[in-house]
Structure 1
Amino acid sequence: MFISVVIPTYNRLPILQKCLIALENQVFSSDIKGYEVVLVDDGSTDGTSSWLRGNLTKFPHLKLLEQLHAGPGQGRNKGVENSLGDVIIFIDSDLVVTESFIDSHSRSLINTWNKRGDRFCFTYGAVINTSNFEYPTSEPHKLRDISFAYFATGNVAIDKNVLEAAGLFDPAFKLYGWEDLELGERLRRMNVELVKCPKAVGYHWHKALSIDQIPSLIRIEHERAKMALVFFRKHPSRRVRFIIQFTLFHRFIWETLTLFGLINTTNLKPLLQYLIRKGYPGLAMEILRLPLNLIGVRAIYREAYSQGLH
């Protein structure tokens, strides 16, 4: 087995450095003939490519590709198309993995292939969210780290032929969100089995919440709404409606929990600032999710009505 770890990146150089160092420190069994790290710089403006070109000797497994800014989906497609592996592992560039990461994915894949008699499966590793930049791998596993997604590219491994049979990422997803879950719908239709692989651990770093992040978070909700309807047009099912929160149930939940918008990103700021100042940015983020979810759901309905979807 030869493995290609495919990573799109955009303006994440400091955490990307930790990501790549962790991938160079892998320990694995004889089942793995070797591996490469296919990094696609998606038009970064923070000096990512120039820094990497100047430090290639530190990363002997690295294959650096570049493209004009086109989004992570097209970055992953470029990475797969230029990969040598018979197995593809997708991770994000802000993920710091453990030394047994690649080995854990490979062992789970091989065990499942042997049981099934084919390669129609993928392994889904554990993602632990952290805002600890210095020591991201020290973060404990938390309830909110549990994911119910079927196929999310933060930490998955799949046979390359199976992936190509499903088709790669749809370039119609030009903004933030949903391109991986849409590919997951195609894999589901092929009866590709999800195999949980909790030993393949990645620590997903993100900045602790600050008030100045709120406009960006609101923008992301509007982008997600637009891409959600791209997803729904391709797969107009009740299940996809539920995934993207395009249901009256979700509308009712978020309208009710925010008192029909009376609890919003503006009047929550004093509380959020207080919690952040006291050292509880995680709790502040969970509270902020209430109005953000309402913004997202309302945006989906506005987009849907403007496009004639009901």
Structure 2
Amino acid sequence: MFFSVVIPTYNRKPILEKCLKALEHQVFDQSQIAGYEVVVVDDGSTDETVKWLHSTAEFPHVRLFQQDHKGAAAARNLGVEKAAGDTIIFIDSDLVVTEFFLQAHAEKLLEGARSLGHDRLFTYGRVINTCNFDDPTSEPFKVTDYSQAFFATGNVAIARTWLIQAGLFDTQFQLYGWEDLELGVRLKNLGLQLIKCPDAVGYHWHPPFSLDQIPKLIDQEIQRGKMGVLFYQKHPTWNVRLMIQMTWLHRILWGILSLGGFLNERTMAPLLQWLIDQGKPQLALEVARIFLNWYNVQGVYQAYREMQHS
């Protein structure tokens, strides 16, 4: 198999450099992997990402493509369109992988095909969240890193033919969230099965949580609510309602936990800052999810009301 690692990026030059360096140092069995390329799709960055990539010879596996700022779904579609490989790996540009990353995906893809007797499958690697920029791969796996997503583009390998047959990503998903899980529903309808691949490890870097990130995080939750309703419009099932938190259960749960919205970014700021000052920014972020999820549920129902009246 020949891998095309497709990476959409937007204004992430510092961590993208670490991402691409890790991909240049892959160790693999050439009897299983014929080779690989790294397809970087710049989604209209304004931080000189393109100029930097054009000026460096450090990444011989990289092929760069550009588009206006259209979002991750359109960027991934362009990457698949330009890919030379028969097998696509999607990762994000803030993911730093280990040296056996490609080999782990290849082994599980081959093992899965032998075990199932067919190739209607894809592999999903492990994603470990970290805010350690200097040494991201030193972060241990945590309970909060566990994911039950069926198809998430943070670390997934799949034959290109299945992506084409499913219809690629829906570019209506221009705001934050759900474009990968929506494609996952269509892949599941084609009979594809998920094979977990814990040895294909990627370390997802994000800056340490701070209070000045909260407005952006709230905006993302509201966007995710809007895109969740689009997801539900395409697939009006109970399972999708559960995923996007559009149920009375979620409304009651986060309403109770947030005390009807009383626990919010203003009232919880002192506690969050205290946790950050104690060197526990990740715990502070998890606590902040009390009101972030409340914003998400509110955003879902607001978008749903707007859809019904449109």
TM-score normalised by the chain length of structure 1: 0.98
Structure 2: gaps spanning 5 or more residues: none
Aligned to 1:220: 220
Aligned to 1:169: 169
Aligned to 2:50: 49
**Which secondary structure does the structure 2 equivalent of 1:123 belong to?**
strand
- Please say if 1:275 is aligned against 2:279: no
Aligned to 1:62: 62
* Maintained 8 Å contact 2:246/2:297: yes
What amino acid is aligned across from residue 46 of structure 1 in structure 2?
Answer: D
Aligned to 2:8: 8
Aligned to 2:124: 124
**Which secondary structure does the structure 2 equivalent of 1:174 belong to?**
coil
* Maintained 8 Å contact 2:223/2:299: no
* Maintained 8 Å contact 2:120/2:193: yes
Give, in angstroms, the shift of residue 262 of structure 1. 1.1
Separation (CA, whole Å) in 2 of partners of 1:117 and 1:285: 43
- Please say if 1:257 is aligned against 2:257: yes
Q: How does 1:28-107 map to 2 (within 5 A)?
A: 28-30=28-30, 31-55=32-56, 57-107=57-107
Give, in angstroms, the shift of residue 222 of structure 1. 1.1
Computed over aligned residues only, the root mean square deviation of the Cα atoms, in angstroms, reads 0.8
* Maintained 8 Å contact 1:3/1:36: yes
Aligned to 1:231: 231
- Please say if 1:146 is aligned against 2:150: no
What amino acid is aligned across from residue 45 of structure 1 in structure 2?
Answer: T
Separation (CA, whole Å) in 1 of partners of 2:129 and 2:88: 23
What amino acid is aligned across from residue 163 of structure 2 in structure 1?
Answer: L
* Maintained 8 Å contact 1:246/1:300: yes
1:72-91: CA deviation from partner (whole Å, max 9, x where unpaired): 11000000000000000000
1:85-132: CA deviation from partner (whole Å, max 9, x where unpaired): 000000000000000000100110011112223210000000000000
Identical aligned pairs, as a percentage? 55
**Which secondary structure does the structure 1 equivalent of 2:308 belong to?**
coil
Separation (CA, whole Å) in 2 of partners of 1:78 and 1:303: 29
The 4+ residue runs of structure 1 with deviation greater than 4 A are none
Separation (CA, whole Å) in 2 of partners of 1:79 and 1:306: 33
Separation (CA, whole Å) in 1 of partners of 2:147 and 2:120: 21
* Maintained 8 Å contact 1:119/1:162: no
What amino acid is aligned across from residue 118 of structure 1 in structure 2?
Answer: H
Give, in angstroms, the shift of residue 163 of structure 1. 1.5
What amino acid is aligned across from residue 19 of structure 2 in structure 1?
Answer: C
